[in-house]
Amino acid sequence: MEDHCGQARYAWNLAVEQQSWWNPRRGPAPNYHEQSRQLTAARRENP
């Protein structure tokens, strides 16, 4: 359970970091659906 929570926290922190690094010059920040697609792709690449 501790391992699972650690992995979930890591994914959450990556999403928060991605939002905080975004700025208006780059266009809109990735929304929930885009981040979900990115997470799905990352899972596929790293089983």
Joined tokens for residue 19: 């939002």
Dist CA 32 CA 47 (whole Å): 22
Range of 20's domain? 1-45
Query: What pLDDT is stored for residue 45 in this prediction?
Result: 93
DSSP states of 1-47: -HHHHHHHHHHHHHHHHHHHH--GGG-SPP-HHHHHHHHHHHHHH--
Query: What pLDDT is stored for residue 19 in this prediction?
Result: 83
Query: What are phi and psi for residue 45, nearest 5 degrees?
Result: -75, -25
Number of domains observed in the structure of the chain: 1
Residues 1-47 have pLDDT tens digits of 888 899 889 888 988 888 888 878 888 888 889 999 998 998 899 88
Mean pLDDT of the chain: 87
Query: What pLDDT is stored for residue 21 in this prediction?
Result: 84
Query: What pLDDT is stored for residue 41 in this prediction?
Result: 94
